[in-house]
Amino acid sequence: MLDLAVLLIVFLLSWSYFARKRGNTRGLPYPPGPKQLPIIGNARDIPQQSPWLTYTEWGKKYGDIMHVQAFGSHVVIVNSERVAVDLFEKRSKIYSDRIMGKMTELMGWDYNTGLMPYGDKWRRHRRLVHQEFRADATAQYHPIIMKNVHFALRNILATPEDFLAHVRYIAAATVMSIAYGYEVAPTNDRFVQIVEDAVAMLSQAFFPGATLVNYFPMLQHLPGWLPGMGFKRFAQKCRMLTDEMQNAPFEFVKHHMLAGTALPSVTSELLDKVDPHGDVEEQEATIKRVSGIIYAAGADTTTAGMSTVVLAILLHPESQRKAQAEIDSVIGTHRLPTFEDRKNLPYVDAFVRESMRWHPAAPLAVPHATSEEDVYQGYYIPKGAAVIGNTWAMLHDDTTFPNPDLFMPERFLNDDGSLKEYPMAYFGFGRRICPGRSLADAEIWATAVAVLSVFNVTKSKDSTGREVSVDGGYTGGLVSHPLPFKCDLKPRSTAALQLIQESSQMI
């Protein structure tokens, strides 16, 4: 029986490959890439973990634009910012679509605005997100951010060994307050745990090559007991989490609105604007989806960015001292920094930018897709191809960033010490650029400047007094977080200690 099942799967895979295989209608070459095997193409070459590193190495051989193919599905990898701008911005009409992977859909993430195919539904969702998080609207959230940052400072002082959890709190508490008017518990919050688990599962199964069902959607219809069908159980478990991730906080807001106790939030504001003469159910469903993605996307990527900043502070003590000297010179030691100080702290801004360049939260961008066939630099790119911006390669390009493996905030400063105006690839390109980038940038900067102003961050020591080594490793999924690391965070002075203790009175 098992042999028959295996034969059935092989037959279906082969049939699907030949049924879906696209011909090159122009007779032009695809972009260069690794040699392909019959039928499977590059399926064995496409990595499941940290694919940006492999693609960057391939780029040294094949160039700024590469092509791989697996079971008839085409993937184009973009390794330079120049090509990314050409395709994603100058040709955005063609390169703004998404391919909704079957695994993504099975896991319940098809509601996600960032993963949604280009079209009217995406525009409706994007419009709602943009009106709340455009750059000129983000300032309204600065008090919320600072309140949560100051709370985290006090928690770090109390339990410095849990500093990563306290950093996660800043992102979670900020986005939950903005999206739902919900006050996050300092530890073990139910809503926060749901989203962290759901995003972690998505990260494992997102990239091409992670699961065969993305290449052969028909596999979803086969019995779960067949070999290779473990993805079905994985997807079902994730769907339960994503459903709860949308429904639980949304119902929380509706309950408190009925009771008259709801705090101001994006969700309550949008619900107040529902047209009672229109399709109320569809309007509420759209609001629920949009709020859910604010909650899911906002917390995880921002946490990764904040954690990277702390790791950068730890591993680069000379840069830490320079940033602290700038803060002391501009602000002094009698108060904590505010957003009004940002324009006068260019080195701190450069430090944050260099941290995001050094290890971006999303080293590989969410794939774009072509809505029609195209020709670029003499290469043929078929309709429906996944086109992936390799953010890691762009931010480690030694022609743009000399000595890219070195941590040098000075690369973002002019000779006079002012901040260079340079668009950063880590927020994406074109019509698919991250709509919440201003909020994320504000949270990461606020965390960095607050920690630098009152704490010295140094390596921990073991019982013999030796420094505990930090390897600086990262997770390899869709959102890349620093692996857990130890460090000591101690107040810089008695004055700094007093500022931390009194920070609850400063908002």
Q: What does the block give as tokens for 82?
A: 């120049």
Cα–Cα distance list, 258 to 176, 288, 452 (Å): 19, 17, 43
Closest-CA residue to 166 (of 349, 324, 303, 323)? 303
- What is the pairing mode between strands 73-78 and 386-389? parallel
Q: Residue 457 CB: number of other CB atoms within 10 A? A: 21
Closest-CA residue to 297 (of 211, 209, 203)? 203
Contact residues for 26 (Cβ-Cβ < 8 A; gap 6+): 373, 375, 380
> Would the annotation count 238 as a binding residue?
no
Give the chain's length.
Answer: 507
Give the whole-angstrom CA distance, residue 166 versus residue 154.
Answer: 9
3-state class (DSSP) for residue 143: helix
- Measured at the CA of 214, the angle between CA 209 and CA 216, to 5 degrees, comes to 115
Taken in order 174, 176, 180, 184, the sign of the CA dihedral is negative
Contact residues for 3 (Cβ-Cβ < 8 A; gap 6+): none
Return the C-alpha torsion angle 186, 190, 195, 201, nearest 10: 120
Q: What does the block give as tokens for 12?
A: 């279906």
Q: Residue 366 CB: number of other CB atoms within 10 A? A: 18
Identify the DSSP state of 162: G
Answer whether 152's CB lies under 8 Å from 170's CB: yes
Closest-CA residue to 365 (of 298, 291, 430, 442)? 430
Residue 207: phi and psi, rounded to 5, are -70, 155
Burial level of 409, CB count in 10 A (0-12/13-18/19+)? buried
- Residue ranges of the annotated binding site for heme are 434
- Residue ranges of the annotated binding site are 434
